């Protein structure tokens, strides 16, 4: 009952403001309400001076009633047209500040300044939602999403449009590079091995048919260089292919590579110190390239008759550290800390740095002098439950106990 009367009274008040012509201006609503109360106060002051007796009593009662109505109307205007919508905007703003764009903007049919503010806020919230949806489309590379065609006004919209264009061009460039890498990988992984096999076959024929020892020595050099070409081609193929990453015990890799290097360099002395427990990493066959390059690099740059290289694997908590030290003449560097910023692309150290970085690791030159150089490779460990890792324990123990 009371609620219905209240609604009807509100309807009457706002209809009256429409008739008077002040419903489009919050300023006039407040000024008229305050002016009525002021005039009533003035009238109440003048009544005792003008009339007396019952006339003064009735005049005072009428003015008091008019003042009460003016007060109630002022409260209604403040509550419905100012306080309630502003509090709703405040709550919506706080939710947007916390990153929640899915807010209910206060709906209003007001035609005054507060109504304009609510509608402007709604447009702002809509634009923010469009921007968020466009950013999501860009992040997921949905460049055909219709939301990217939506117009966002102002500098914000122009910057977003420019970013969309730049991201599209970048993705197109990446896709073009990927296609070139795939072709390059096919050529290196398919055509080069075929050509190398033909060279090997012809070398075998020439070695069988040629009695000249000097020529046979040259053929052996050709065979060695062909093997080097094959090795480089395989390395390039590995670097340009997204090979599957698996859980590998680096100890197996080190033992295998050290034994193979000892066979290739019988005069070299390569020592290997390993922890007793398995040390697992998330990597692939490229890990063997890291080990081989660093060890062979130390041997080839030693310059002595019996080059020595010390290889140590240490547990460093969340990481594992591989240290390779040689006794060569050292590296002539102005700034050893920037070694990997200056090495030429395609060199052994450059390949090692690329692989280690791909495995989310780090490599640095610990020291270099006339007594030798020490490289350290740090790689993150993988202590997850093991699937089947590379090699077997028996095979590893057999290799580990071999002489050298």
Q: Are residues 298 and 374 in the same domain?
A: yes
Q: Are residues 266 and 395 in the same domain?
A: yes
Q: Which residues contact 243 (CB under 8 A, 6 or more apart)?
A: 284, 285, 286
Q: Are residues 35 and 69 in the same domain?
A: yes
pLDDT (tens digit per residue) in 341-396: 777 776 778 888 888 988 889 999 988 888 889 999 999 988 765 444 444 333 33
2 confidence band (pLDDT: 50, 70, 90): low
Assess if residue 156 is contained within a domain: no
What is the number of structural domains in the chain? 3
Count CB neighbours of 359 within 10 A. Answer: 18
Q: Are residues 250 and 376 in the same domain?
A: yes
103 confidence band (pLDDT: 50, 70, 90): confident
Q: Are residues 383 and 257 in the same domain?
A: yes
Q: Are residues 254 and 230 in the same domain?
A: no
What local confidence, expressed as pLDDT, does residue 168 receive? 78
Cβ 322 vs Cβ 364: under 8 Å: no
pLDDT over 60 at 79, yes or no: yes
What pTM value is reported for the model?
A: 0.48
Assess if residue 161 is contained within a domain: no
Cβ 380 vs Cβ 322: under 8 Å: no
pLDDT over 50 at 302, yes or no: yes
Assess if residue 168 is contained within a domain: no
Classify burial at 221, counting beta carbons within 10 Å of its beta carbon; exposed 0-12, middle 13-18, buried 19 or more.
exposed
pLDDT over 90 at 310, yes or no: yes
Whole-angstrom distance, CA of residue 130 vs CA of residue 117: 20
**Which segment of 64-73, 233-242, 257-266, 364-373 scores lowest on mean pLDDT?**
233-242
| Range(s) of the domain holding residue 111 | 2-132
Give the orientation angle of helix 286-300 with respect to helix 250-264, to 10 degrees.
40
Nearest CA-CA partner of 72 in 9, 8, 5, 116: 9
DSSP state of 112: S
What local confidence, expressed as pLDDT, does residue 395 receive? 31
Q: Are residues 353 and 317 in the same domain?
A: yes
pLDDT over 90 at 203, yes or no: no
Average pLDDT value for the chain: 79
Assigned token pair, 220? 């052996």
Cβ 378 vs Cβ 250: under 8 Å: no
Q: Are residues 83 and 220 in the same domain?
A: no
Q: Are residues 248 and 372 in the same domain?
A: yes
Q: Are residues 14 and 67 in the same domain?
A: yes
Task: Compute the radius of gyration of the chain from its Cα atoms.
Answer: 42
Assess if residue 118 is contained within a domain: yes
pLDDT over 90 at 28, yes or no: no
More confident residue, 299 or 227: 299
More confident residue, 242 or 166: 166
């Amino acid at each position: 009952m009371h609620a219905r009367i209240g609604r009807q009274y509100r309807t009457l008040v706002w209809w009256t403001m429409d008739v008077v012509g002040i419903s489009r201006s919050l300023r006039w609503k407040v000024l008229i309400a305050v002016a009525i109360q002021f005039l009533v106060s003035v009238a109440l002051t003048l009544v005792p001076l003008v009339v007396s007796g019952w006339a003064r009593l009735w005049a005072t009662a009428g003015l008091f009633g008019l003042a009460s109505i003016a007060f109630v109307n002022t409260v209604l205007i403040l509550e419905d047209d100012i306080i309630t919508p502003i509090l709703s905007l405040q709550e919506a703003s706080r939710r947007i500040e916390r990153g929640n764009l899915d807010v209910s903007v206060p709906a209003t049919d007001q035609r005054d300044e507060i109504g304009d503010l609510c509608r402007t806020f709604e447009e702002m919230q809509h634009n923010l939602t469009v921007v968020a949806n466009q950013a999501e489309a860009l992040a997921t590379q949905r460049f055909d999403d219709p939301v990217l065609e939506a117009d966002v006004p102002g500098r914000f919209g122009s910057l977003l449009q420019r970013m969309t264009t730049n991201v599209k061009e970048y993705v197109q460039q990446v896709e073009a590079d990927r296609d070139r890498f795939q072709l390059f990988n096919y050529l290196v992984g398919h055509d080069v091995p075929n050509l190398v096999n033909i060279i090997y076959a012809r070398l075998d024929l020439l070695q069988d048919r040629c009695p000249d020892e000097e020529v046979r020595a040259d053929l052996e050099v050709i065979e060695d260089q062909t093997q080097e070409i094959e090795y480089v081609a395989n390395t390039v193929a590995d670097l340009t292919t997204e090979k599957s990453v698996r859980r590998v015990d680096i100890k197996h890799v080190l033992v295998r590579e050290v034994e193979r290097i000892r066979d290739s360099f019988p005069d070299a002395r390569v020592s290997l110190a390993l922890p007793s427990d398995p040390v697992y990493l998330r990597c692939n066959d490229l890990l063997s390239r890291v080990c081989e390059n660093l060890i062979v690099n130390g041997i080839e740059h030693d310059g002595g008759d019996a080059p020595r290289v010390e290889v140590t694997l240490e547990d460093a908590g969340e990481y594992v550290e591989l240290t390779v030290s040689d006794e060569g003449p050292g590296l002539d560097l102005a700034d050893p800390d920037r070694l990997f910023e200056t090495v030429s692309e395609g060199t052994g150290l450059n390949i090692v740095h690329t692989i280690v970085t791909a495995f989310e690791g780090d490599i640095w030159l610990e020291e270099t002098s006339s007594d030798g150089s020490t490289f350290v490779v740090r790689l993150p460990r993988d202590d997850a439950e093991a699937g089947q890792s590379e090699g077997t324990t028996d095979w590893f123990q057999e290799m580990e106990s071999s002489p050298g």
